[in-house]
Amino acid sequence: MNHKKSPHFHFSQKNNWMNDPNGLIKVEDVYHLFFQSNPIDKNWGNIGWGHATSNDLVTWEKMPEALHADEKVMIFSGSAITSNNTLGLDERLIAFYTACEYSCDEDSNFTVKKQTQNIAYSDNSGTNWKHYPDNPIIDINSAEFRDPKVIKLSDYLWLMLVTRARDFEIDFYLSNNLVEWSLKSSFSDCRFRKGAWECPDLIHVSINEKSKYILTISVDNGFKSGGSGVLYIIGDYNDGYFTKDTSIMGNDDYRVLDKGPDFFASQSFYNDDANEPPTIVGWLNNWKYAKDMPDKELPLLQSVPRQLSLISDTNNKILLKQIPTQHIDKYTYRLAYHNDILMTPMVPVTLKCVPGCFIYNAQFLQTKDASLSIVVSNKFAHIFTIKINESFTNLTISRRKSEAFGQHVNEFSTEFSPLNDLLDIKIIVDYFCVEIFINDFTEVFTMHLGEYFEEVDICTSTNESKLLVKTISVACPLIS
């Protein structure tokens, strides 16, 4: 009997429900991943915070559940920071979360009664939590008010972003003591008014020695890729106000962080080390079909952590760059490597019987007359395909239809401008899912594959013209 392997590069749960990453934080060289979790069932419900830890963002150890729901309140998404007894409770970690008061009728119909912002605190381990005795810390008497993201501005000043989900506004609060919060501003300068705005984040980056901020907003429905996604806006933050930088954004009201269908609720790690680049994790799924996956015996996944930065293209357009954690490489061995191959239509580069967990890296010399195709398949059909047109300006990615997705969109396209003469492609496949990074990590597509793949073939080909493959390699996990 063929037993399915667990995802190798992605934190996952199969026997318990999991969605949004919460409270991402690095403490004493340990990364903590909290997440929306149902500790007693594989389906959504009874939501609290699960917990896992890692020393390198690749191998994760599941820890005891951190925050628990009860029959009246679920513990929805939020964030975490370090503390040196700011609350006077001898605390070292503070979690900010949304308490969702709810009711269920006799037919198990779920109704939200109210959402408020609350505090829990812990020692450095993040395993033993107590709720702040004077919760809630913010209550505006709303059922659509959630997902607090707290950011340290100085030793005595903190910023909290909270979304008023159906009003399409992000509220900015300031505090000197983490308990008393003053509403400073509300951001709504974005015309994407579909679904609900959720899980806001404000990430500090720099470009050309200038300080900038990336505001990310997750939306549960309405993206072109179908269903959920994350949009972002580049701008400036000052004294409780965020403003869009129109010189950078140009005519873009917003941009899409991941152009695949399965990246949602992204959050950055809180990190006291200012020299470490900002790193995010997203839920690798889509609300259009996520709740049906447990009954199809599919794992629920978090994305590979990604470092964020801004870069300029040849036309001085500012682009978001997302590099998957490079610690992955130390857990792989090289299965195949080729360089300086002049690929022709009759002679593609084909790799057969590759394990269903692998990392593909390649560089191609741009040629105006040669297109590029990468097909990952098994003996039944194509699993997913990457196609780039002759001018290397259009990128289309498609995945095989699966019963897990129903009638959902399965083809995703974008226009792009190559940053270098060599076009680079990185593909991370992990039995059930794929993350694709193209053009110096500026074009990103994440997809759940909807089923398990034990073994695949990889065919890289071109059309009627020749195409120089500078390098192409495939690496697999050291432990299968």
Neighbours of 349 (CB within 10 A): 17
CA–CA distance from 301 to each of 23, 285, 430 (Å)?
A: 17, 7, 10
In sequence order, what DSSP letters do the residues of 131-171 get, joined into one string? Answer: E-TT--SEEEEESSEEEEEEEEEETTEEEEEEEEGGGTEEE
For residues 361 and 351, give the distance between their C-alpha atoms in angstroms, rounded to a whole number. 13
Sign of CA dihedral 69, 73, 76, 81: negative
> What letter represents residue 184's amino acid?
K
For residues 319 and 396, give the distance between their C-alpha atoms in angstroms, rounded to a whole number. 19
* Residue 248, φ and ψ in degrees, nearest 5: -90, -45
Neighbours of 407 (CB within 10 A): 9
Q: Is there a catalytic annotation at residue 20?
A: yes
> What letter represents residue 285's amino acid?
N
Task: Tell how far CA 288 is from the center of its chain.
Answer: 17
**Given 20, 201, 258, 440, which residue is catalytic?**
20
Q: How many CA atoms lie within 13 A of 47 on its CB side?
A: 24
Q: Which of 325, 277, 287, 319 is nearest to 303 (CA)?
A: 325
Helix (H, G, I), strand (E, B) or coil at 222: coil
- CB neighbours of 133 closer than 8 A, spacing ≥ 6? none
> What letter represents residue 70's amino acid?
D
Q: CB–CB of 473/361 below 8 Å?
A: yes
Structure tokens at 21: 């990453």
Would you name the residues annotated as active-site residues?
Answer: 20
